[in-house]
Chain A
Amino acid sequence: MTGRWPAWPLACALSLTATSVFADAKGESWLKKLDQALSRPRDQEMLTEMVIQAPAGEPRRIGIRVHVRGGRRHMELLYPGDVKGTKILSLSRTQMYVYLPAYKKIRRIATHVRDQSLFGADYNYDDMSTPTYGDLYHAEFLGETKTQVRLRATLRAGQISPYGKIEFTLRKSDAYPEELKYFNARGTHIKTEVRRDYQCQQAMCVPRYMKMVDHSRSNHWTECLQKDWKLNTSFGEDVFSLRALQRSE
Chain B
Amino acid sequence: MRRTGSMGARAALVVLFAVGLSSAARAEVSLKFSGKLQSDLRFRVLGARVGSWYGLQELAPGVSFNENLVKFKLQASAGRFRGVADVDVIAVGAPRPGDFGELLDRSKLDPIVVKAHSLFVEATDLLPGLDLRVGQQVVNWGKGDQFNPTNNLNPNDLWDPLLFGQQLGTPMVKADYTFYREWTLSGVLVPIFKPAQLPSSARLGVASLDRLPFVEDSLRWRLHAEQTLVRDILKYPTVVTKAIPVLPEARLDNMQFAFRVAGVLAEHDLAFSYYNGRTDMPQPFVNYTRLNAGRRCSPSDPNDCVAGMIETEVELGYPRMQVLGFNASGQVNALGWLSKRIQPIGYRFELGVFFPQEASIILLQDRMDFGLRLEPAGEYAYGLGGRRPLTVKSTPFAKWTLGLDYSFGRHVYANVQWVHGFVDEFGAGDFFSEGWAVRRGGAAGNAASLMTCALVDPKGERCATEILRPRLGDYLVLGLDFKFLSEQLLVRLFMIWDLIGVYEEKWDAQANRRVRTHHGTFSAEGFSAVFFPEVTYNFGHGLELSAGGLFKVGKEHTKFGDPAAGGSEVWTRARFTY
State whether the Cβ of B346 lies closer than 8 Å to any Cβ in chain A. yes
Tell me whether B34 and A81 are in contact (CB under 8 A): yes
Tell me whether A105 and B264 are in contact (CB under 8 A): no
Tell me whether B486 and A81 are in contact (CB under 8 A): no
State whether the Cβ of B405 lies closer than 8 Å to any Cβ in chain A. yes
Tell me whether B343 and A105 are in contact (CB under 8 A): no
B-facing residues in A88-144 (Cβ within 8 Å): 94-95, 103-105, 107-117, 119-121
A84 to B538, CA, bound (A): 14
Tell me whether B269 and A81 are in contact (CB under 8 A): no
**Selected contact of A82 from candidates B410, B486, B577, CB within 8 Å:** B577
State whether the Cβ of B345 lies closer than 8 Å to any Cβ in chain A. yes
Tell me whether A82 and B544 are in contact (CB under 8 A): yes
A143 to B4, CA, bound (A): 88
CB distance from A224 to the nearest CB of B (A): 15
State whether the Cβ of B36 lies closer than 8 Å to any Cβ in chain A. yes
With A103-B165, A120-B488 given, can you name 7 additional A-B contacts, CB distance below 8 Å? A52-B486, A53-B486, A55-B485, A80-B577, A111-B331, A112-B346, A120-B487
**Minimum CB distance partner of B538 in chain A:** A82
A108 to B346, CA, bound (A): 8
Interface residues on A, range: 35 or more
Residues of A within 8 A of B343 (CB): 110-112, 114, 160
Residues of A within 8 A of B329 (CB): 107-108
Residues of B within 8 A of A107 (CB): 329
A-facing residues in B326-355 (Cβ within 8 Å): 329-331, 340-341, 343-346
CB distance from B179 to the nearest CB of A (A): 11
Footprint of B on A, CB under 8 Å? 52-55, 57-58, 60, 80-82, 84-85, 94-95, 103-105, 107-117, 119-121, 160, 185, 220, 238, 241-243, 246-247, 249
Contact with A along B165-192 (1 / 0, CB 8 A): 1000000000010100010100000000
**Selected contact of B346 from candidates A84, A113, A117, CB within 8 Å:** A113
A84 to B346, CA, bound (A): 25
Tell me whether A55 and B86 are in contact (CB under 8 A): no
Residues of B within 8 A of A80 (CB): 540-542, 577
A-facing residues in B251-287 (Cβ within 8 Å): 264, 267, 269
Tell me whether A81 and B182 are in contact (CB under 8 A): no
**Minimum CB distance partner of B124 in chain A:** A247
State whether the Cβ of B122 lies closer than 8 Å to any Cβ in chain A. yes
A120 to B539, CA, bound (A): 12
CB distance from A96 to the nearest CB of B (A): 11
Residues of A within 8 A of B578 (CB): 81, 84
State whether the Cβ of B84 lies closer than 8 Å to any Cβ in chain A. yes
Query: A108-B346, A112-B345 are known contacts. Are A95 and B131 too (CB-CB below 8 A)?
Result: no
**Selected contact of A95 from candidates B178, B267, B486, CB within 8 Å:** B267
Residues of A within 8 A of B486 (CB): 52-55, 60, 117, 120-121, 220
Residues of B within 8 A of A112 (CB): 331, 343-346, 405-407
A185 to B269, CA, bound (A): 30
**Selected contact of A110 from candidates B176, B405, B487, B576, CB within 8 Å:** B405
Tell me whether B131 and A110 are in contact (CB under 8 A): no
A114 to B540, CA, bound (A): 24
A60 to B543, CA, bound (A): 12
- Residues of chain B at interface, number, CB under 8 A: 49
State whether the Cβ of B140 lies closer than 8 Å to any Cβ in chain A. yes
Instruction: Return 23 A-B CB contacts under 8 Å, by A number.
Output: A53-B486, A55-B488, A57-B540, A60-B540, A81-B34, A82-B538, A95-B264, A95-B267, A104-B117, A104-B138, A108-B330, A109-B346, A112-B331, A112-B344, A116-B407, A117-B486, A160-B343, A185-B340, A220-B486, A243-B131, A247-B124, A249-B84, A249-B137
**Minimum CB distance partner of A105 in chain B:** B140
State whether the Cβ of B118 lies closer than 8 Å to any Cβ in chain A. yes
Q: Considering the complex of A and B, which 5 residue pairs feature the smallest CB-CB distances, nearest first?
A: A110-B346, A81-B577, A81-B542, A120-B487, A120-B486
Tell me whether A247 and B131 are in contact (CB under 8 A): yes
**Selected contact of A54 from candidates B84, B131, B488, B576, CB within 8 Å:** B488
Query: A80-B577, A84-B577 are known contacts. Are A110 and B34 too (CB-CB below 8 A)?
Result: no
A58 to B137, CA, bound (A): 39
Tell me whether A54 and B540 are in contact (CB under 8 A): yes
Residues of B within 8 A of A160 (CB): 343
Which one of B86, B124, B137, B407 has the greatest number of beta carbons of chain A within 10 Å?
Answer: B407
Tell me whether A243 and B182 are in contact (CB under 8 A): yes
Residues of B within 8 A of A120 (CB): 486-488
Tell me whether B264 and A242 are in contact (CB under 8 A): yes
Tell me whether B487 and A241 are in contact (CB under 8 A): no
CB distance from B473 to the nearest CB of A (A): 24
**Selected contact of B86 from candidates A95, A241, A249, CB within 8 Å:** A249
Which one of B84, B344, B577, B578 has the greatest number of beta carbons of chain A within 10 Å?
Answer: B577
A85 to B34, CA, bound (A): 9
Residues of B within 8 A of A111 (CB): 331, 343-344, 346
Tell me whether B341 and A110 are in contact (CB under 8 A): no
Tell me whether B269 and A108 are in contact (CB under 8 A): yes
**Minimum CB distance partner of A122 in chain B:** B486
A137 to B538, CA, bound (A): 37
A82 to B269, CA, bound (A): 28
Query: A54-B486, A57-B540, A58-B540 are known contacts. Are A113 and B176 too (CB-CB below 8 A)?
Result: no
A6 to B377, CA, bound (A): 91
CB distance from B84 to the nearest CB of A (A): 6
CB distance from B415 to the nearest CB of A (A): 11
**Minimum CB distance partner of B133 in chain A:** A247
Tell me whether A243 and B178 are in contact (CB under 8 A): yes
Residues of B within 8 A of A241 (CB): 178, 182
Residues of A within 8 A of B406 (CB): 110, 112
A94 to B487, CA, bound (A): 24
Query: A241-B182, A247-B122 are known contacts. Are A81 and B345 too (CB-CB below 8 A)?
Result: no
Contact with A along B566-578 (1 / 0, CB 8 A): 0000000001111
CB distance from A212 to the nearest CB of B (A): 13
**Selected contact of B331 from candidates A105, A110, A119, A185, CB within 8 Å:** A110
